[in-house]
Amino acid sequence: MKYAFNSVAVLVALPSTAVFAAPITPSSTALQAQPSATFAGSGIPNTAVQVLTLDPTVSDVTLGLTAHQRFTGPNLANNGTSTFDAATGVSANPPSSPADPYALWNFAFYVGGDDISNYVFRLYCDFDPASGTDEANHGVIEFLGSALQGAAIQNSLNLGMDFLAMNATGITAPLGSFSPTVEGDTTSR
């Protein structure tokens, strides 16, 4: 009766210039408060966020990921570092006409810092309830830091959101379809 996930999704920063073609691997820390993150909503907990910071001698970029209940309900349990536990089930608070049912939980992300315009950010997500899904089967949402013009970007998403299942500009859909009623384990790559 639970859905466990590590890092919920993967958020990576890639330099926007061809000189540095490899992804930048940030250092990970224990879950912590990220007071500057509202995740584009109100009442979304920001006290248990996996915060990743790029090397401050290279760049001022902070990435954050978390998971939380959808609307009302208790905060999700976590292990203090990267794993959150959520109940399976369909949210009683879906939008007016979703094609896909929403889960009882959302995941949220945050990108901020003075140097974000120098990077491309990719948020990877996975519909497969089994752990260890190949990266080629993950969905990708891509943000161009240069388009952000120095402002933080943040949001709270639900894997049942219709747009995550469709290929569009800046979005590659994950393989398969998401079911909020199936127990699973979503693991970062």
Over residues 125-138, the pLDDT tens digits come to 888 888 778 888 88
Q: Which of 148, 133, 122, 119 is nearest to 54 (CA)?
A: 119
Q: Which of 118, 117, 111, 110 is nearest to 150 (CA)?
A: 117
pLDDT confidence of residue 18: 40
- Could you tell me whether strands 184-186 and 2-6 are parallel, antiparallel, or unpaired per DSSP bridges? parallel
Q: Which of 136, 22, 9, 132 is nearest to 63 (CA)?
A: 9
pLDDT confidence of residue 3: 47
Cα 153 from chain centre: 12
pLDDT confidence of residue 126: 86
d(CA 106, CA 184): 15
Residue ranges per domain, the chain? 2-186
pLDDT confidence of residue 21: 38
Q: What is the mean pLDDT, run by run of 10 residues, along the chain of 189 residues?
A: 44 52 52 88 88 72 87 82 84 76 89 80 85 84 75 88 92 91 66
Q: Work out whether the CA dihedral 30, 33, 36, 42 comes out positive or negative.
A: positive
pTM: 0.82
